[in-house]
Amino acid sequence: MRSYIVGVGMTKFEKPESRDWQYWDMVKEAGTAALADASVRYEDIQQAAVGYCFQASTAGQRAVYELGLTGIPVYNVNNNCATGSTALMMARQFVEGGGSDCVLALGFEKMARGSLGGGGSDGGAGDFKTSPVARHYGIMAAGHGFEMTPPTAQIFGNAAREHMERYGTTEAQLAAVAAKNHRHSTGNPYAQFQDPYTVDEVLAAKPIHRPLTRLQCSPTSDGAAAAVVVSERFVEQHDLGERAVEIAAQAMTTDTEDSFASGTCIDAVGLPMSREAARQVYESAGIGAADLDVIELHDCFSINELLTYEALGLCGEGESGALVESGATTHGGRWVVNPSGGLISKGHPLGATGIAQAAELTWQLRGEAGARQVPDARTGLAHNIGLGGAAVVTLLRR
């Protein structure tokens, strides 16, 4: 059975505490927009998968109760930074398994200001004895020691150091990722940041963990996103063919021995997971990287965009720095990667990110993305990863 996204909605991603709202207010805004986009009522929704990391159990119910009190099953999802795409995957599985014809995928986050710190749900190092990412940070500590910098920036920053040492990647190439995504976000009214920066300005920004500067790190954010996922039968019954974007393939992978065997941060932060998820999606859909038009990928830090180029097969191993520098991943290049501004500039409310990626691709494939539109986009790929770990790759096709 085939599944389709027929409606999407999201809030503007905001700096934490900059707006007087609660997480249920965010969900009402994003969910109402998605329902209106799909021309369906909340009463048509048969199940809901709701993703978040920083609220208590059953916060998903509290959130969707603002949309209606219909008694439907509500599933609360927490999978670190891959939470939103995990909720979307559950919604797709509910539909493709034949259990439901119309499902709502939601993601939200209300975060604290400042860098992600210790503790399991935020991907920080926390107490090595109890943190679910203890093994990942143990790899980092063995190879690089442990510095007094934000843990997530530290493990990704150390991955950047490894990439530079191994392949000759330059600080300017890392900064080119951030400059590109900040430039893209100027056309996105939903983005937390909408100011352009040059490579030199990115390099001159406040250091977070060498070689990463502040402008190369995704910020903490408040926000929500929603998608209505339906069956082919529902599309036909409700005459939604003009709105429908097919979820053509999707895969989730978790860590294997490959994440840890090399002892590198490059592998510990998820390169093997991403590569395998992409392989499964390409094989399922019968396509390759050359067939993609637009990509939304998990640039939590600039280095992760470069690693993901290699994982998705956009270039060979070690060639990602040259790829971004060549202009191949922006407007006028071979692909447009992160036209929304990506996590670095659009923002990163953990539970909402994966669904916001799907929303952007839905708008792109419908030709509704305005100033950031990729001409004639027909095939889009979303990549969402969470440390600890999970990688979700989703292929959308019009």
pLDDT tens digits for range 211-266: 999 999 999 999 999 999 999 999 999 999 999 999 999 999 999 999 999 999 99
d(Cα 212, Cα 210) in Å, to the nearest integer?
A: 5
pLDDT digits (tens, 9 = 90+) for 329-348: 999 999 999 999 999 999 99
Length of the chain: 398
d(Cα 222, Cα 192) in Å, to the nearest integer?
A: 9
The pLDDT of residue 118: 40
| Stretches in the chain below the pLDDT threshold 70 | 115-129
The catalytic residue among 53, 81, 217, 300 is: 81
d(Cα 306, Cα 178) in Å, to the nearest integer?
A: 11
Q: Please say if 348 is a catalytic residue.
A: yes
Q: State the amino acid at position 279 in one-letter form.
A: R
The pLDDT of residue 211: 98
The catalytic residue among 136, 298, 348, 383 is: 348
Q: Which of 179, 176, 184, 177 is nearest to 369 (CA)?
A: 184
d(Cα 271, Cα 313) in Å, to the nearest integer?
A: 12
SS3 state at 300: coil
Only one residue has tokens 């990704």, namely 156
The pLDDT of residue 123: 43
Give me the residues paired with residue 301 across strands. Answer: 217
Contact (Cβ atoms closer than 8 angstroms) between residue 152 and residue 281 = no
d(Cα 95, Cα 86) in Å, to the nearest integer?
A: 14
Only one residue has tokens 């392949």, namely 167
The pLDDT of residue 128: 52
Indicate the pTM of the whole model: 0.96
Q: Which of 218, 216, 396, 393 is nearest to 312 (CA)?
A: 393
